[in-house]
């Protein structure tokens, strides 16, 4: 599923990699401080302006059409990519805030897994711990603890256990324990999985891993959002979701999501936070992908033939001028500053799938 992040030497070997390289964040070393390298965005499709112009009765650009359906917002299609749907501004600002908060607080909670599981085992309350300036500290080997602690998927009697602490700890021999600030772990949080858990090492869903069902509110929303792409008379069953977290400079390399059984069912993908560039190509990396902006509140659906198309996110815009999050900032200004601080430099993507 997720291809390896773009390496350096083979970066331009395929048309997809070439496009990733074009949009990826690079820094020019200016004389005073490093500056983001300017990037030509003239070929990036902008569904916000397309839908605004469409609302004023302008014609749609060649290759883009509006889906005839009774969804309560315009749904756009790409003639070059059957099964791909774009719903600009599908989520209200309140919904965006709620999903960002959930993505940071409840979604990464065990038994949901995150990219940190393999190193640290399950981590509880990462977001609040980062806010409180806590440090994750490796505890004494388990024979010095109460022995019942299960801390890691591959846990053995001697597997290390990591716990949040207010201060750096020392072992009984007086050595500083290994530790990492919660704020660093929050910045390095790249994904969490809800519902059926995906085993990245085996590239498949592992139904035997402990999991909770997708929360009801997310089920209801994704079922509604999936309707424009659903085969008629069928229901979308949200069984798994991946939440991706992007900070400045992070990207999601070109990949296919091909581990789900029924490709006629869409992947419902919601964008939150900073604006990003999304690339959708063809069924091999040799096809030159189309680039488009994804803003907070946009939803895309990928079903049918579009499920066989390589796609990825080469870039997010975490700078004030391009992030386009002023409404979100306003909405978050009544809340705890930690959300505001996170959202100013981050993007969150929640994508929901029917697995079987
Ligand atoms: C994915 C994915 C796209 C995005 O998680 O499979 O393609 O917009 N995400 O982040
Ligand atoms: Mn994907």
Q: How many helices (H) and strands (E) does the chain have?
A: 10, 20
**What's the gap in Å between 69 CA and the centre of ligand 1?**
25
User: In this structure, which ligand is nearest to the CA of 198?
Assistant: 1
Give the mean pLDDT of 62-68.
97
Q: Assign 51 to helix, strand or coil.
A: helix
Same domain flag for 236 and 95: yes
Closest residue by Cα to atom 2, ligand 1, is 312
Q: What is the DSSP string of 86-128?
A: EETT-S-HHHHHHHHHHHHTTTTSTTSEETTHHHH-----HHH
**What's the gap in Å between 189 CA and the centre of ligand 1?**
15
Q: Which residues of 83-99 are buried (b: 16+ CB within 10 A; e: fewer)?
A: bbbbbbbbbeeeebbbb
Q: What is the DSSP string of 166-192?
A: SS--B-TTSPBPPEEEHHHHHHT--EE
Same domain flag for 196 and 273: yes
Same domain flag for 241 and 300: yes
Same domain flag for 26 and 128: no
Number of domains in the chain: 2
Closest residue by Cα to atom 7, ligand 1, is 312
How far is it, in rounded angstroms, from Cα 302 to Cα 93?
Answer: 23
User: What's the chain's average pLDDT?
Assistant: 91
Same domain flag for 283 and 310: yes
Q: Per the domain annotation, does 3 fall within a domain? A: no
Same domain flag for 198 and 342: yes
pLDDT of 294-327, one tens digit each?
999 999 999 999 999 999 999 999 999 999 999 9
Q: What's the pLDDT at 148? A: 46
Same domain flag for 326 and 251: yes
Give the mean pLDDT of 69-96.
97
How far is it, in rounded angstroms, from Cα 330 to Cα 248?
Answer: 21
Same domain flag for 74 and 123: no
pLDDT of 139-175, one tens digit each?
875 555 444 444 444 444 556 799 999 877 777 777 8
Confirm or reject: Cβ of 348 under 6 Å from ligand 1: no
**What's the gap in Å between 271 CA and the centre of ligand 1?**
9
Confirm or reject: Cβ of 192 under 6 Å from ligand 1: no
**Among the listed residues 5, 100, 38, 46, the one whose alpha carbon sits nearest the alpha carbon of residue 313:** 5
Full domain range(s) for residue 256: 8-111+191-353
pLDDT of 17-51, one tens digit each?
999 999 999 998 877 778 889 999 999 999 999 99
Chain centroid to CA 308: 19
């Amino acid at each position: 599923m997720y291809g390896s992040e773009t390496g350096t030497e083979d970066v331009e070997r395929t048309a997809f990699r070439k496009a990733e390289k074009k949009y990826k964040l690079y820094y020019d070393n200016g004389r005073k401080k490093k500056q983001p390298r300017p990037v030509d965005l003239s070929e990036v499709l902008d569904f916000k302006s397309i839908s605004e112009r469409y609302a004023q009765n302008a014609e749609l650009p060649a290759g883009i059409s509006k889906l005839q359906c009774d969804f309560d917002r315009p749904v756009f299609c790409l003639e070059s990519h059957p099964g791909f749907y774009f719903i600009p501004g599908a989520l209200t600002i309140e919904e965006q805030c709620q999903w960002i908060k959930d993505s940071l607080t409840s979604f990464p909670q065990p038994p949901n897994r995150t990219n940190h599981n393999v190193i640290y085992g399950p981590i509880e309350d990462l977001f609040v711990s980062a806010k409180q300036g806590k440090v994750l500290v490796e505890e004494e080997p388990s024979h010095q603890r109460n022995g019942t602690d299960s801390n890691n998927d591959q846990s053995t009697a001697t597997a290390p256990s990591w716990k949040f602490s207010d201060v750096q700890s020392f072992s009984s021999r007086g050595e500083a324990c290994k530790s990492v600030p919660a704020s660093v772990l929050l910045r390095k949080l790249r994904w969490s999985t809800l519902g059926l858990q995906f085993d990245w090492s085996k590239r498949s869903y592992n139904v035997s891993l402990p999991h909770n069902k997708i929360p009801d509110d997310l089920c209801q929303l994704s079922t509604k959002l999936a309707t424009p792409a659903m085969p008629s008379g069928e229901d979308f069953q949200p069984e798994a979701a991946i939440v991706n977290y992007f900070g400045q400079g992070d990207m999601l390399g070109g990949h296919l999501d091909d581990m789900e059984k029924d490709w006629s069912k869409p992947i419902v993908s919601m964008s939150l936070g900073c604006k990003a560039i999304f690339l959708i190509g063809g069924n091999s990396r040799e096809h030159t992908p189309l680039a488009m902006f994804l803003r907070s509140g946009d939803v895309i659906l990928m079903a049918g033939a579009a499920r066989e198309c390589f796609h990825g996110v080469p870039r997010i815009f975490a700078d004030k001028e391009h992030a386009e999050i002023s409404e979100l900032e306003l909405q978050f200004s009544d809340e705890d500053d930690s959300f505001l601080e996170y959202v100013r430099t981050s993007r969150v993507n929640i994508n929901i799938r029917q697995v079987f």
